[in-house]
Amino acid sequence: MPYSLTVNGQLHEVDADPSTPLLWVLRDHLGMTGTKYGCGIAQCGACTVHIDGTPTRSCQVPLESAAGVHVTTIEGLSADSSHPLQQLWVEMNVPQCGYCQSGMLMAAAALLEKIPNPTDQDIDSYVDNICRCGTYPRVRAAIHKAAAGTKA
């Protein structure tokens, strides 16, 4: 039975097992490979997407639960990498290997939507993705700089 998914504002019909994790639906069925597989147990955050605006670890969301919600992936954050966080990530050399960064960016974007001027404690508790390279100080600095740029 096909499931209807709205991903990055586009409706998709996916015919897969209802228990297939959203991560694999995005990557294998829809060809959106920006969302990464890390641990498969919702701990690392590499697979973070937004579901109805909430950062969610897609490796633990079955396809049947994703039907009827709005999913935003790193590809949907901006079509041309023009999102302020994406630009700051490059400008400030945030990633080293870069593997975890799509999930990190999705968590950071959701944080700034919820808390436009986050403290270090807000960032540490909200962006709890694991970065094996340890670029947390640069992640925090980029989020603060993005917040400063969003103030009116």
Report the CATH number at residue 60. Answer: 3.10.20.30
Of 30, 57, 77, which one is at a domain's C-terminal end? 77
| Angle at alpha carbon of residue 96, lines to 91 and 99, rounded to 5° | 110
On whether both 46 and 109 belong to a single domain, the answer is no
17 confidence band (pLDDT: 50, 70, 90): very high
On whether both 20 and 68 belong to a single domain, the answer is yes
pTM for the model: 0.93
Of 77, 105, 120, which one is at a domain's C-terminal end? 77
Can you tell me the mean pLDDT for 49-56? 98
On whether both 70 and 7 belong to a single domain, the answer is yes
Residue 1: predicted pLDDT: 81
Secondary structure (H, E, C), the chain:
CCEEEEECCEEEEECCCCCCEHHHHHHHHCCCCCCCCCCCCCCCCCCEEEECCEEEEHHHCEHHHHCCCEEECHHHHCCCCCCHHHHHHHHCCCCCCCCCHHHHHHHHHHHHHHCCCCCHHHHHHHCCCCCCCCCHHHHHHHHHHHHHHHCC
Q: Is the pLDDT of residue 152 over 70?
A: no
Residue 150: predicted pLDDT: 56
Residue numbers of the domain that contains 40: 3-77
Residue 98: predicted pLDDT: 87
**Mean pLDDT for the chain?**
95
On whether both 98 and 60 belong to a single domain, the answer is no
Q: Please give the tally of structural domains in the chain.
A: 2
On whether both 73 and 7 belong to a single domain, the answer is yes
On whether both 66 and 11 belong to a single domain, the answer is yes
Residue 149: predicted pLDDT: 87
Q: What is the CATH number of the domain that holds 133?
A: 1.10.150.120
Of 24, 42, 77, which one is at a domain's C-terminal end? 77
Which tens digits make up the pLDDT trace of 55-111? 999 999 999 999 999 999 999 999 899 999 999 999 999 998 889 999 999 999 999
On whether both 9 and 43 belong to a single domain, the answer is yes
Residue 94: predicted pLDDT: 94
Bridge partner residues of 123 (DSSP): none
On whether both 31 and 52 belong to a single domain, the answer is yes
